[in-house]
Amino acid sequence: MNRFRGFTLLELLIVISIMALATAGVSLALRDSGQTQLEREAARLAALLESGRAQSRGTGVPVRWRADAQGFRFDGLPANTLPTRWLDAGTTVRGPAILQLGPEPLIGPQQVLLVNQAHPERALRVVTDGVRPFTVEPLP
């Protein structure tokens, strides 16, 4: 007579361990894309602002960054020198949207708040104290 004995405790523990590892891997891979996109936009903006600041100092021409309905622009630089569109159409600026980038080597403290329309409760700020480069910081 054939008797079925079921699974051993060791076999069950191995299966549960494999399932736990797979679940952990999937949860790490599925990061919030809205926050990632906002972080990418903020890092890109910080780099663009530093580029505009360097070009302003190099040429001696005042440069202003302005956000507008279509994206943003760098007043004082030749057209098509730097990008003027967000990577994600849902990115907007909250609050004042004008930054003075130069040509003076020291500028006043400035910041701009970036938000994604899909998640308006999340925001990042791109900030400088006027001496150091623009950096990305979360809101307190």
Convert the pLDDT of each residue in 40-68 to its tens digit: 999 999 999 999 999 999 999 999 999 99
Rounded to two decimals, what is the model's pTM? 0.76
The answer as to whether 1 is a domain residue is no
Asked if 49 and 134 touch (Cβ cutoff 8 Å), the reply is yes
In a domain, residue 4? The reply is: no
Q: Which domain holds residue 112?
A: 10-138
pLDDT tens for 96-127 read 889 999 999 889 999 999 999 888 888 999 99
Q: Which residues contact 125 (CB under 8 A, 6 or more apart)?
A: 42, 111, 112, 113, 114, 136, 137, 138, 139
Would 5 be classed as within a structural domain? no
* Residue 3 within a domain: no
Does residue 2 fall inside a structural domain?
no
CATH code: domain of residue 36:
3.55.40.10
The count of domains in the chain is 1
- CB 101 within 8 Å of CB 63: yes
